[in-house]
Chains A and B, each alone.
Chain A
Amino acid sequence: MSAALWVHTVVGLVALLALLAGVTLVGVWWERKFIGHLQRRRGPLHHGWHGLLQLPADMIKMVGKEDTVPAAADRLLFQFGPVAAIVPAYAALVALTFAPGVALVDMSHGLLYVFAFETMLPLAFALIGWSCANKFTLLGGLRAAAQLISYEIPMLLAALGVVLAAQSMGLTTIINAQTGVWYIVKQPLGFAIFSIAMLAEMNRSPFDLPEAESELVAGYMTEYSGMKFGFVQLAEYSVLLVGSYLIAALFLGGWNMPFLPASWLWLALKIVLLMTATMWIRGTFPRLRVDTLTQLSWKWLLPAALLNIMLVAALALALGPKLY
Chain B
Amino acid sequence: MAVYGSGLAKGLGITMRRLFRGPVTELYPYEHKHPAPTSRTFLVMSANEEGGPACRACNTCIVGCPDHVLRLEKHPDDNRRPLEFVVNSGRCTFCGLCVESCPYDALHFSQDYERATYDRASLIYNLVHEGALTGEGDEVR
Q: Which residues of A contact B (CB under 8 A)?
A: 34, 36-42, 45, 280-281, 283-285, 300
In the complex, chain A residues whose CB is within 8 Å of the CB of B1: 300
Interchain CB contact (< 8 A) of B15 among A38, A41, A42? A38
Interchain CB contact (< 8 A) of B23 among A41, A281, A284? A41
Q: Smallest CB-CB separation from B1: which chain A residue?
A: A300
- Complex Cα–Cα for A41 and B24 (A): 6
Does B76 touch A at the CB level, under 8 Å?
no
Does B117 touch A at the CB level, under 8 Å?
no
Asked if residues B23 and A285 are in contact (CB atoms below 8 Å), the reply is no
Q: How many residues of chain B have a CB within 8 Å of chain A?
A: 15
In the complex, chain B residues whose CB is within 8 Å of the CB of A280: 12, 15-16
Interchain CB contact (< 8 A) of A38 among B8, B18, B24, B25? B18
Does B11 touch A at the CB level, under 8 Å?
yes
Interchain CB contact (< 8 A) of A40 among B11, B21, B27? B21
- Complex Cα–Cα for A32 and B19 (A): 13
CB distance from A263 to the nearest CB of B (A): 28
Total of A-B residue pairs, C-beta within 8 Å: 35
Q: Smallest CB-CB separation from A36: which chain B residue?
A: B23
Q: Which residues of B contact A (CB under 8 A)?
A: 1, 8, 11-12, 14-16, 18-19, 21-25, 27
In the complex, chain B residues whose CB is within 8 Å of the CB of A37: 19, 23
Asked if residues B12 and A40 are in contact (CB atoms below 8 Å), the reply is no
27 contacts between A and B (CB under 8 A): A36-B23, A37-B19, A37-B23, A38-B15, A38-B16, A38-B18, A38-B19, A39-B18, A40-B18, A40-B21, A40-B22, A40-B23, A40-B24, A40-B25, A41-B23, A41-B24, A42-B27, A45-B27, A280-B12, A280-B15, A280-B16, A284-B11, A284-B12, A284-B15, A285-B8, A285-B11, A300-B1
In the complex, chain B residues whose CB is within 8 Å of the CB of A41: 23-25
CB distance from B91 to the nearest CB of A (A): 34
A40-B23, A284-B12, A284-B14 are known; give 12 further A-B pairs, CB within 8 A: A34-B19, A36-B23, A37-B19, A37-B23, A38-B15, A38-B18, A41-B25, A42-B27, A280-B12, A280-B16, A283-B15, A284-B11
- Complex Cα–Cα for A316 and B96 (A): 80
CB distance from B4 to the nearest CB of A (A): 9
Q: Lowest 5 CB-CB distances: which A-B pairs, in order?
A: A41-B25, A284-B15, A40-B24, A284-B11, A38-B15
In the complex, chain A residues whose CB is within 8 Å of the CB of B21: 40
- Complex Cα–Cα for A280 and B24 (A): 19
Q: Smallest CB-CB separation from A34: which chain B residue?
A: B19
In the complex, chain B residues whose CB is within 8 Å of the CB of A36: 23
- Complex Cα–Cα for A41 and B21 (A): 11
CB distance from A27 to the nearest CB of B (A): 18
- Complex Cα–Cα for A158 and B1 (A): 19
In the complex, chain B residues whose CB is within 8 Å of the CB of A39: 18
In the complex, chain A residues whose CB is within 8 Å of the CB of B14: 284
CB distance from A192 to the nearest CB of B (A): 10
- Complex Cα–Cα for A42 and B24 (A): 9
